[in-house]
Amino acid sequence: MKIRFLFLLPLLVSLVPTAPSLAAGDRFALVIGNAKYPDADAPLKEPLNDARDMADELKRDGFSVEIGENLTGDGMRRAFDKLYGKIKPGSVALVFFSGFGIQSARQSYMLPVDAQIWTESDVRRDGFSLETVLGELNTRGAGVKIALIDASRRNPFERRFRSFSAGLTPVIAPNGTLVMYSAALASVVSDAGGDHSLFVQELLKEIRVPDLMAEETLNRTKMGVTRASRGEQVPWISSSLAEDFSFIPGAAGSRPTTTTTTAPPPAPPVVANNPPPAPPAPPSPPAPAKPADTAAAPAPPPPPPPAPAPSPKPQVEAALPPPPPPAKPADPAPAPNADSGPSAAALAEDPTIKGLTAKIAANPDDVNALYRRGQVYASKGAYSLAIKDFDDTLRINSKDVEALNNRCWTRTVVGDLQGALKDCNEALRLRPNFVDALDSRGLVNLKSGAVKNAIADFDAALKINPRLTSSLYGRGLAKQRNGSAQEGALDIANAKAMDPNIVQEFASYGVR
């Protein structure tokens, strides 16, 4: 049921001799800093400086480093292929990425500077899945795989499709992997406006501390970021390292006794995402985009999740988002339009809408501009305007299944359930097993009280994509209404663990 929408510069290569004391083998690193995204209002200030400093530090630590700045999709693809080609059995492979990232279908994607994100399929087409990258490194024989991702930024692609969830999502990585995000799952942080990010400042400081294992280095980084941000930014760590590894070659093989540590367990990955005690932030109402329950202090870490049984249900890694940042004084809200969304004046001044409207004025039958403007309207809650644009899109091409699905969902939200069902049925007639239309039709059936049909639609969607959180949550609600309270509660709990915003999302559809 998605509103479906959703980056070449020459690479600088510097080779550094491998440290002879590293038993795991050669060390290779790919460092990417993407700052100039055309869809953003201005270039990001932090990624290039952060990438250069990370590359310099990794060279000092015995890594053969390749650095790329403002890479397009082709540039990133070549850079990853070059890294894959260097890997030998037992190698250490490290990827550092700073730029924009986005989650789609429960995977995290690193975006090149030329990404064109309008539908969710665009994310998978233009972005680079972190899971895919780690899987390829593992296939090539890398013994230790490390990913340091500073991409939990509020980005210009947000809310172009209905099921968008902020920030990044848990990564299901092979054994021998250490992953760190600059912020908690499903949360974002804003660039501080300085030359370096808080995350990279703390990371570099800890990497330079001798006699630390890598997990210890990242845990200390997490504590430093949490303290410095007063709990507003809490990095996320997942580890399945099966051997000790240190960024500094020749570090002691045992961990310092002055810090709390645990031996790394075998797969599945262990998630560590609970911050140490931090000074409380000044009391303030939670930010609108975060669910109310994120204001609570993080709980002690839960036990590692069991290995998943063969089932369409996704593996859940428990993780809590950080407390919301202090709220800024709100600007006076514009008068709402008929959908209780932004005013017509505010919509008209939106740069994306303004550009699409100009294209439509020049060519009233510009089907791509009409469809995209409909997506933007829907993402902003201007549902009647969105439906009108989808109407015009379908007038030009009555077999546009994406427009049919989006109009189905939009009609569902406004309560036109009969029209919505007709749209979803037509989309599925034209494209059988269209997962987003199955998801949307499940919502239609859920709102109309046809809970058995809703369960069937959500089951079908989850069979195709077991990580589709909206179908998992919707199925949970439907099961509860159908009398299966325990099964429904399990689906709901799993969905909420995967996406803490899912309850708020469904409430915005009128489903509680």
CATH of the domain at 435: 1.25.40.10
DSSP H helices, 208-260, are 214-228
Choose the most confident range, by mean pLDDT, from 266-270, 430-434, 448-452.
448-452
Taking only the tens place, the pLDDT of each residue in 205-239 is 999 988 889 999 999 999 999 998 888 889 999 99
Residue 222 lies in a domain: yes
Taking only the tens place, the pLDDT of each residue in 16-27 is 333 333 333 599
Q: Are residues 352 and 271 in the same domain?
A: no
Q: Are residues 204 and 94 in the same domain?
A: yes
At residue 7 the predicted structure's pLDDT band, cuts being 50, 70 and 90, is very low
Q: Are residues 41 and 116 in the same domain?
A: yes
Q: Which residue, among 364, 362, 431, has the nearest Cα to 396 in the 3D structure? A: 364
* Count of alpha carbons within 13 angstroms of residue 452, beta-carbon side: 0
Residue 207 lies in a domain: yes
Residue 317 lies in a domain: no
User: How high is the pLDDT of residue 353?
Assistant: 83
Taking only the tens place, the pLDDT of each residue in 22-64 is 333 599 999 999 998 877 777 888 999 999 999 999 999 999 9
Overall average pLDDT of the 484-491 stretch: 94
Taking only the tens place, the pLDDT of each residue in 76-104 is 999 999 999 999 999 999 999 999 888 87
Overall average pLDDT of the 120-146 stretch: 89
In the chain, the number of structural domains is 2
Contacts of 257 (CB under 8 A, 6+ apart): none
d(CA 313, CA 315): 7
Residue 152 lies in a domain: yes
Q: Are residues 266 and 364 in the same domain?
A: no
Q: Are residues 125 and 274 in the same domain?
A: yes
Considering 231, 263, 280, which residue would you say is the last residue of a domain? 280
Residue range of the domain that includes 142 = 12-280
Q: Which two tokens stand for residue 509?
A: 């559809």
CA Rg, the chain, in Å?
23
pTM above 0.75, yes or no: no
Residue 6 lies in a domain: no
d(CA 353, CA 348): 7
CATH number reported for the structural domain that contains residue 47 in this entry:
3.40.50.1460
Residue 335 lies in a domain: no
Q: Are residues 268 and 364 in the same domain?
A: no
Percentages helix, strand, coil for the chain (3-state, rounded to 5) are 40, 10, 50
193: left (phi over 0), alpha (psi -120 to 50) or beta: left
Facing residues of 102 across strands? 109
Q: Are 93 and 144 in contact (CB under 8 A)?
A: yes
Q: Are residues 160 and 72 in the same domain?
A: yes
User: How high is the pLDDT of residue 42?
Assistant: 78
Residue 383 lies in a domain: yes
Q: Are residues 268 and 367 in the same domain?
A: no
Q: Which residue, among 472, 505, 376, has the nearest Cα to 105 in the 3D structure? A: 472
Residue 348 lies in a domain: yes
User: How high is the pLDDT of residue 352?
Assistant: 72
Is the pLDDT reported for residue 435 higher than 70? yes
* Count of alpha carbons within 13 angstroms of residue 375, beta-carbon side: 29
* Count of alpha carbons within 13 angstroms of residue 278, beta-carbon side: 25
Q: Are residues 351 and 233 in the same domain?
A: no
Q: Are residues 273 and 348 in the same domain?
A: no
Considering 246, 280, 314, which residue would you say is the last residue of a domain? 280
Q: Are residues 31 and 177 in the same domain?
A: yes
Considering 252, 280, 308, which residue would you say is the last residue of a domain? 280
Whole-number average pLDDT of the chain: 77
Q: Are residues 251 and 111 in the same domain?
A: yes
